Chain A
Amino acid sequence: MISVADLLTPKVAAGNYFATNTYVRSDAELGLLENRSGSRLIAIPDTLIKALYAGLEQETGLAARLVLINCGRWWGKNFYQRFSEELTGHYGVPLASLPMVDFLQSLQQCWVSHGWGQIDFDPSYAERGLFLVKTWNSPFAAQAPQMDRPVCFMDAGILSAFFSGLTGKSLDCLQLTCESLGADCNRFVVGLEDRLEPVEARVEAQEDWEAIMQSLVES
């Protein structure tokens, strides 16, 4: 028999920590945005994202992509740490002990509340050591210059660092499809670097993502 009394504890019925209306707070007089734990947030206007792409392109040329991926990695590393601390504090258990459903849903809500669009996971490849991540409405895709390849370099960096933090292994991330190229969503595959490396050229050539995933599964 299910005991509701056991579910009514603050740790179990913890609610939605990243609920947008509760998570983001502002003080207009001080010009501050902060989250519910008091950490500062910054609002990035579209113009700044556009300027980042344009400025990096002008200053570093082809290396702009690498710079953005590395920025994303730094961002993702700190993001994982903060996400982990906040969620651990909220649920009162280490991240590793959190039920998968609560972890996943918190990350999805966290993504929305930070204004990064939506995120979802396709678990089909998890048993083969690969994470397939899907995102929608990414501001980094929306503001990117039109290229003939996926452009969410920052997102790829964030995801590689986030999953590296989560698994304790050094993981890489490749973007397979991009909204900026007319895809239904942005798809990323996260896995060990030496496993992803052989398909990098195929990703660059914009081969079908399912065929690439199939090769990775069989590798």
Chain B
Amino acid sequence: MHPLSDFFRESDKRYLAQAELKLLGRYTLSLPHRLAIYRQIRDQELALLQPVADGLEKSLVGTSVTAIEQSLKLGIAVLRTSAMAMLTNDISSLDDTLRWVRQSQANNDSQQTDELCFQLMTQQLEQRLEAAHFKLLLPYLEPFQKLAATAA
């Protein structure tokens, strides 16, 4: 369930409490920043991911191009899903992509390549986004980093 929907589920029964209004207010105030981050990622997707591809090729000598491309395709899905989850403040929307990544790693034994791919992608985001914006996005990238750490 989307966290915002939780606020409105009982709208015919009661008004929001002070603490809930505060939470909603905080999200509303953060929305311009969230939109800016989302827009930046969308507009700079290629510029952001090409160094990741180059870094993977440089670090993983001997790994097939197909395997690296497979990790990059996952990276693209992770980046897009995380950006949307950040925009809507909905961490649960990552669940399907987390399952997708886990399944891919089980099928292709690609934990190491994926871990490096996600790490390089996070580095790129940290370099390109304002520090406060990166901090806002990080919680939506972390589940994928933790996944890699758990698998390793």
Residues of A within 8 A of B (CB): 1-5, 7-8, 12-13, 15-16, 19-22, 101, 104-105, 108-109, 112, 120
Question: How distant is B77 from chain A, measured CB to nearest CB, in Å?
Answer: 5
Among residues of A, the one whose C-beta sits closest to the C-beta of B47 is A4
**A15 engages B57 (CB within 8 Å):** no
Question: How distant is B1 from chain A, measured CB to nearest CB, in Å?
Answer: 11
Among residues of A, the one whose C-beta sits closest to the C-beta of B45 is A8
* A168–B45 CA distance with the chains assembled, in angstroms: 41
Residues of B with C-beta under 8 A to A8: 45-46, 49, 76
**A105 engages B107 (CB within 8 Å):** yes
* A19–B95 CA distance with the chains assembled, in angstroms: 9
Among residues of A, the one whose C-beta sits closest to the C-beta of B53 is A2
**B104 engages A13 (CB within 8 Å):** no
**A12 engages B73 (CB within 8 Å):** yes
Per-position contact with A for B36-48: 1 when CB-CB < 8 Å, else 0? Answer: 0000000001100
Question: How distant is B31 from chain A, measured CB to nearest CB, in Å?
Answer: 22
Q: B9 near A: Cβ within 8 Å?
A: no
**B96 engages A7 (CB within 8 Å):** no
Per-position contact with A for B46-79: 1 when CB-CB < 8 Å, else 0? Answer: 1001101110110000000100111011001100
Residues of B within 8 A of A (CB): 45-46, 49-50, 52-54, 56-57, 65, 68-70, 72-73, 76-77, 80, 93, 95-97, 99-100, 103-104, 106-108
Partner of A4, one of B50, B77, B106, B107: B50
**B76 engages A7 (CB within 8 Å):** yes
* A7–B99 CA distance with the chains assembled, in angstroms: 21
Residues of B with C-beta under 8 A to A19: 96-97, 100
**A7 engages B73 (CB within 8 Å):** yes
**A13 engages B107 (CB within 8 Å):** no
* A3–B50 CA distance with the chains assembled, in angstroms: 7
Residues of A with C-beta under 8 A to B106: 120
**B103 engages A105 (CB within 8 Å):** yes
Contacts A2-B65, A8-B76 given; indicate if A21 touches B93 (C-beta within 8 A).
yes
25 contacts between A and B (CB under 8 A): A1-B57, A2-B53, A2-B65, A2-B68, A3-B53, A4-B72, A7-B69, A7-B72, A7-B76, A13-B76, A13-B77, A16-B96, A19-B96, A21-B95, A21-B96, A101-B70, A101-B107, A104-B107, A105-B103, A108-B103, A108-B107, A109-B99, A109-B100, A109-B103, A112-B99
